[in-house]
A and B are shown apart, each in its own frame.
Chain A
Amino acid sequence: MRMNKPAAALAVAAMMTLAACGGGSSDTGSDEPGDDATFQEGGNAGAFKDESREAPAPVPDDAAEGGTLTVMTAVAPSTLDPTQAYYTDSTAILSDLVTRSLTQYAYNEETNDMQLIPDMATDLGRPNEDNTEWTFTLRDGLKYEDGTDVTAEDVAYAIKRSFAIAELPDGPTYQTTFFLDGDKYKGPFSDKGEYAGVTTDGNDITIKMRRPFSDMDYYASFPAFTAIPEAKDNPETYGQHPLATGPYKFADYKAGSSLTLVKNDQWDPNTDPGRIQMVDGWDFKFAQDTAKLENVIINDNGSAQTTLTYDNVSAASYRQIQAEKERLVTGTQPCTFMWYIDMTKVKDIKVRQAIGYAYPYEDAWKAGGDIVGVTRVPGTSILPPGTAGRKEYDALGIGGVNTDPEKSKELLKEAGAEGYEIKFLFSSDDEQAVAAKDAIVKGLEAGGFKATPIASTVETIRTDRTDYNSPINVRSSGWCSDWPSGGSWFPAQWSGDLVGLEGMPNPANFKEKKFDDEQNRILDELSPEDATKAWGDFDQSMEEEVYPAVVTGYGGVAMIHGSKVGGMANDNVRGMPTFSRMYITQ
């Protein structure tokens, strides 16, 4: 899943490709060391699934019936078509409130975590022996907002629809990698033939794979795995009003400015173990001014009491809302920000490590508007907190935050590379990005480097960054979990096979035989459990032996809400509010 685009995040790490992370997570605001221990030891991804969750979902005691929750945000979802939804805001709105999928995430109050639970399916799917065939069974009594029945064929159609990347771009694309004929089938619009990868039998939907796919249950939680009646589908307009299967339906949607949801009376709580339907409706206001929306929520007058935002609170307001902790929701996102060092250009490990020592972590974060420890959490491992198998290590011994310019100079001297020139991109049209750039230049120069920032714009920086011919030798970007283990991290960004591919999927141009061999060994030879742990070791040895990336912290979440908003917690799979269980307090 991709992060939605708050201005600050855009500036620092425009490209994030994050998806469902089933792993547990630590709440940065919480001081219960208990939850952290499990996942940092390696954990078991399966522990975060709860197949037995029963419908209906319990309604909290302090919940009042009725009222409207208002959601204000500075950004706007790029699409509300279930197939295209990949940014966290689109997926949270759709999955939590409007369109149900085969599986879903639900908040667990005891662990402060999201858990994978069944949704339209009766369970989390039944794989065959080698994970090449998955079967899901639909519940009885599922209906669309217009009262018609949801059928297995509709789900099968939705799955086929997700292959129509030409007509419906931007969505997740794992189906093309893992599903049968995924590389050939082009979706129901341009490909009128049959697709053999999905079959239905009564309430059963069976998906056939072309290679083992053990994480299908997680993937089935994406809005793309909802039900779409073929007869009512027009790919160009469906996103204007996707047919609701969840507790709320579209009443009015103005792309880029507002979305009004009202109760869907066809939704039956007895078929849904994860959602409640206490408020009468939801009012989403997009593209709002940040200062304005924060002021409204903080002042907490009248309708502001039932207003919330999913944007990270700005430094201007964080201190004010600090006094009222119960109106501030903090947590993590399974994302790591990095400075990828171009291995083909910066060949000496001493120079690479010197960059890590010289990088002005705190200065750059603060200048960029991040609140350290809240919206940006220092760290040293590439795998972010919450990923199963993650290992805590510190390659440079500076805790991911203590800049050491002397050490940097020393290393440069040893390498005979004093005054080494670092070229990096920044968005010249974003004041905060410019401020962060200034801080980085200052830091690098203090560490004995020559810093040459190269101007780009918010609009073009991602294209510029993925240009192999660009003169830059470090790339600022990031990555977010797709699956609960390192298997979604290293093969996706750190495999030598990716070097030279379109779009620069391997931003560090990292191609080391030893590490490629190790990756293949983990993928081919180890059991899923052993692999989980092996990725943590891989993470550590790669950073300690090669240091191809400076970890510049993990993504944090700090959202504020009015005093009568109930049930709002951080959905740490997405870094969004847990819409599905929210209500207005009595």
Chain B
Amino acid sequence: MFGYIVRRIISGVLVLLVVSVAVFALFFYGPADPALAYCPETRCTPTRLENIRHSLGLDQPVAEQYGTYMKNIVTGGEFELGAIGIDCPAPCLGVSFKLRVPVTEYLADRFKATLSIALGGAAIFLTVGLTMGILAARRRGTLADKGIVGVSLFINAIPYYLLALLGWLFLISQWGIFPESGYYGPIEEGPVAWVKGMLLAWVILGLAYSTAYARFSRGSMIESLNEDYVRTARAKGLSERRVTMRHAMRAAIVPVVTIFGLDFAFLLAGTIFTERIFDIQGIGLSALDAINGKDLPIISATVLIAALFIVVMNIIVDVIYSVIDPRVRLT
């Protein structure tokens, strides 16, 4: 198992390297001149532009720029913007052209909001999704089962951003059923403000994602309820509750863990629609702003961070997989 993990980590690092090269080449070869974004409106002379390019290091060969970028991640770096230096401690993902702050610091601050969305949303969709799925599986074929499956199919079919948009338009803006959305730090501004600001985002996110979990857990639950060992457990005279919870569910939860890991990674990477519609200042919104403002260091960093989350989560999922499912042995 240890060997497996090491191999996975190596391949994960390779994936990240390739992603970083791709992102770097793509964005830095892209025609949107990042120096332009840094140049004042009215007096952007070619000389000025050249100076900016120089101070941002954009006049160096791309390979060299990439080298510096990688080096800065490991050791941190110093940035010269104009006559003033900005210290960028490791892991340094560059300095934002527009905001003139180290990207890592900036995104770490924004990450709190994204983490809030992900945690709250995940809590809701896991509970609702799994409960519904298991309920439907145990009552297979009944009206309740059909209802759950039908509703989840239907909600699942609605594009997520429409669901969120309509939710915001009506439940918050028009009817005022939910409190105004937005991110408030749970420590700085109190947990009540935090929950209030996040509430509808959690509910909508939870609702949209729970459908997949309901269907998934229902499917795998039905499958495992038909397994021989469950029949054996029943034959031993265990209570139905114990059979479901201890025996069947343990096996049924394995595929759920897989999709949950990936979903969660994507949530952490930035929930662009949720953040944009509910006005939550997280990573996704930073990325969107950075894209609109051609702030390359932030764009690259968000892509890299997203890839990191996904790769790491994949490894974690596989390891957990082997722990909860005794049939899986990692080699």
Contacts and interface: CB of A to CB of B under 8 A. Distances in A.
| A and B in contact, CB less than 8 Å | yes
Interface of A: 2, 14-15, 17, 166-170, 173, 189-190, 234-236, 254-257, 287-289, 292, 295-296, 299, 301, 303, 459-460, 462-463, 502-503
Contact of A255 (B44, B82, B101, B174): B101
A190 B83 contact: yes
A169 B40 CA distance: 7
A470 to B, nearest CB: 15
A254 B183 CA distance: 13
A292 B44 contact: no
B227 interface: no
A242 to B, nearest CB: 15
B45 interface: yes
Contact of A292 (B82, B109, B173, B176): B173
Contact of B279 (A173, A289, A459, A460): A289
A309 to B, nearest CB: 14
Contacts of B43: 169, 173, 503
A296 B82 CA distance: 41
B84 interface: yes
Contacts of A503: 42-45
B37 interface: yes
A287 B285 CA distance: 10
A235 B84 contact: yes
B170 to A, nearest CB: 11
Interface in B13-49: 32, 36-37, 40-46
A190 B44 CA distance: 20
Nearest to B32: A459
Nearest 7 Cβ contacts at the A-B interface: A236-B84, A170-B40, A169-B40, A295-B173, A167-B83, A167-B82, A255-B99
B104 interface: no
Interface in B42-77: 42-46
B180 interface: yes
A167 B84 contact: yes
Given A255-B101, A459-B32, A189 B83 contact: yes
B81 interface: yes
B261 to A, nearest CB: 31
Contacts, number: 67
B42 A296 contact: no
Interface string B85-129: 010000000000011110000000100000000000000000000
B36 A460 contact: yes
A234 B40 contact: no
Contacts of B173: 292, 295-296, 299
A256 B99 contact: yes
Given A15-B41, A235-B84, 5 more contacts: A2-B42, A15-B42, A289-B276, A292-B168, A502-B45
B223 interface: no
Contacts of A295: 173-174
Given A236-B81, A256-B99, A462-B41, A292 B279 contact: yes
A214 B214 CA distance: 76
Given A236-B100, A459-B36, A2 B41 contact: yes
Nearest to A84: B40
Q: Which of B32, B84, B294 has the most CB of A within 10 A?
A: B84
A144 B126 CA distance: 54
B210 interface: no
A166 B83 contact: yes
Main secondary structure of the interface of A (DSSP, over half): loop
Contacts of A287: 289
A189 B276 CA distance: 41
B211 interface: no
B2 to A, nearest CB: 44
Contacts of A170: 40-41
12 contacts: A2-B42, A166-B83, A169-B40, A170-B40, A235-B82, A236-B82, A255-B99, A256-B99, A288-B279, A459-B36, A460-B36, A462-B41
B300 interface: no
A166 B55 CA distance: 12
A68 to B, nearest CB: 13
A463 B49 CA distance: 12
A296 B180 contact: yes
B47 to A, nearest CB: 9
B244 interface: no
Contacts of B44: 463, 503
A463 B281 contact: no
Q: Which of B83, B86, B281 has the most CB of A within 10 A?
A: B83
Contacts of B45: 502-503
A459 B83 CA distance: 26
Nearest to B49: A463
Nearest to A457: B32
A292 B164 CA distance: 14
A565 B65 CA distance: 51
Contacts of A303: 180
B294 A234 contact: no
A502 B176 CA distance: 54
Contact of B84 (A173, A234, A462, A502): A234
A166 B46 CA distance: 14
A169 B45 CA distance: 13
Q: Which of B32, B98, B174, B279 has the most CB of A within 10 A?
A: B279
B87 to A, nearest CB: 11
Nearest to B37: A459
Contacts of B37: 459
Q: Which of B41, B180, B289 has the most CB of A within 10 A?
A: B41
A448 to B, nearest CB: 35
A140 to B, nearest CB: 35
A17 B43 CA distance: 11
A100 B241 CA distance: 72
Nearest to B39: A169
Contacts of B42: 2, 15, 17, 503
Nearest to B179: A302
Contacts of A256: 98-99, 289
B220 to A, nearest CB: 40
A171 to B, nearest CB: 9
Nearest to B82: A167
A235 to B, nearest CB: 6
Contact of B176 (A14, A168, A254, A301): A301
A172 B84 CA distance: 21
A502 B42 CA distance: 10
Nearest to A169: B40
A214 B93 CA distance: 50
